[in-house]
Amino acid sequence: MVEKNSEEYVGSARWVLACELQRLREASGKSLAQLAEETNYDRTYLHRLETGERLSKLPVMEALDRVYGTGELLVRLWGLARLDAFKDKYREFMKLEAKATIIHKYAVVVPGLLQTEGFARFVLSSSPTSKSPDELEDDVAARIGRQELLRRTPPPSVRIILDEAVLRRPAPDPKVWHDQLARIEGAAEAPTMTIQVLPLSAGVQGLTGGPLSLLWMADGSAVAYLEGNRSGELVEDPAEIERYRLSYDRLRDAALPPCASSTFIQQLVEDSRP
């Protein structure tokens, strides 16, 4: 657990959020018991948010903003605090992804933007690095929190190419897997989301060695992010980005069209019903 007096914690966005939560409650004259009653969240849980032991999730921050009348202050602080859960290069990518107007991804695992909470918990709990229950829940909250960018106004235009193998490796829990497939099916129906399946029959492609993300900003600038098992590479050189964009275009051409991809995923959803 990370306490407020921890050297690595003091001064971070997470520390600022924890301090602000405590300050707001004390300024309001509310006890933790009163706050728990008003928000319907457990008193001990709220206390742990104020000590920084827990990161929390977006609905909790929204509820506290309403109680304190602070607009979206806590939501915004939470948005910064959740980035603390990511490593340096990935944290920078997260900041760029949150601002991107166009997002293109090629995925060899279910991408975080499409994961359900249950599936995210399974994946993160399977990590070889030992985690406490609190650390696991913080990691789940951080990953699911990324999906808030899909609810921006206006939302980004997103295209995700899923390798068929992604959809053929189920989670051990049939319900978790069915819910995950249903989440992908539902996401494909959003007007700003396009999901394509790269079938195994397409054979070996030039970019199938690992995940790729391409981001375009409102000012026209772009970055690429190559994700590895233990680290990632943020690419900002325009010539390199152009090469990755052309490779992505070839993957898109080899993938099933959006309508055929939706039909393919719908059948998997039906077949996976517990």
SS (H, E, C) the chain: CCCCCCCCCCCCHHHHHHHHHHHHHHHHCCCHHHHHHHHCCCHHHHHHHHCCCCCCCHHHHHHHHHHHCCCCHHHHHHHHHHHHHCCHHHHHHHHHHHHCCEEEEEECCCCHHHCCHHHHHHHHHCCCCCCCHHHHHHHHHHHHHHHHHHHCCCCCEEEEEEEHHHHHCCCCCHHHHHHHHHHHHHHCCCCCEEEEEECHHHCCCCCCCCCEEEEECCCCCEEEEEECCCCEEEECCHHHHHHHHHHHHHHHHHCCCHHHHHHHHHHHHHHCCC
Q: What CATH code is carried by the domain that includes residue 40?
A: 1.10.260.40
State how far the Cα of 241 lies from the Cα of 11, in Å rounded to an integer.
Answer: 35
The residue among 192, 172, 187 whose CA lies nearest residue 261 is 187
Of 65, 82, 99, the residue that ends a domain is 82
What's the pLDDT at 68?
A: 93
Question: Looking at the domain assignment, is residue 226 inside a domain?
Answer: yes
Question: Looking at the domain assignment, is residue 168 inside a domain?
Answer: yes
Q: Say how many residues make up the chain.
A: 274
What's the pLDDT at 91?
A: 73
Number of domains in the chain: 2
Pair 257, 155 in one domain: yes
Pair 253, 132 in one domain: yes
Question: Looking at the domain assignment, is residue 111 inside a domain?
Answer: yes
Question: Looking at the domain assignment, is residue 5 inside a domain?
Answer: no
Question: Looking at the domain assignment, is residue 229 inside a domain?
Answer: yes
Q: What range defines the domain where residue 61 resides?
A: 13-82
Of 82, 117, 133, the residue that ends a domain is 82
Pair 183, 118 in one domain: yes
Q: What tens-digit pLDDT sequence spans the chain (274 residues)?
A: 344 444 445 567 778 888 999 999 999 999 999 999 999 988 888 988 888 877 777 888 899 999 999 998 998 888 778 766 555 667 778 888 988 999 999 999 999 999 999 999 999 998 777 788 888 888 898 889 889 899 889 999 999 999 999 999 999 999 999 999 999 999 999 999 999 999 999 887 766 567 899 999 998 889 999 886 555 788 888 888 999 999 999 999 999 999 999 999 999 999 999 8
Q: What CATH code is carried by the domain that includes residue 234?
A: 3.30.870
Pair 237, 104 in one domain: yes
Question: Looking at the domain assignment, is residue 131 inside a domain?
Answer: yes
What's the pLDDT at 1?
A: 37
State how far the Cα of 28 lies from the Cα of 247, in Å rounded to an integer.
Answer: 56
**Angle between helix 58-68 and helix 13-28 axes, rounded to 10 deg:** 40
What's the pLDDT at 2?
A: 41
Question: Looking at the domain assignment, is residue 3 inside a domain?
Answer: no
What's the pLDDT at 167?
A: 96
Pair 140, 182 in one domain: yes
Question: Looking at the domain assignment, is residue 172 inside a domain?
Answer: yes
The residue among 56, 76, 79, 58 whose CA lies nearest residue 138 is 56
Q: What is the pTM of this model?
A: 0.70
The residue among 259, 117, 136, 12 whose CA lies nearest residue 4 is 12
Pair 107, 236 in one domain: yes
79 phi and psi, to 5 degrees?
A: -60, -35
The label of the residue with tokens 């300050």 reads 23
Q: Between β-strands 232-235 and 222-227, what pairing exists: parallel, antiparallel or unpaired?
A: antiparallel
Of 82, 107, 126, the residue that ends a domain is 82
Pair 76, 98 in one domain: no
Pair 160, 267 in one domain: yes
Pair 224, 106 in one domain: yes
Pair 114, 66 in one domain: no
Pair 179, 137 in one domain: yes
Pair 106, 207 in one domain: yes
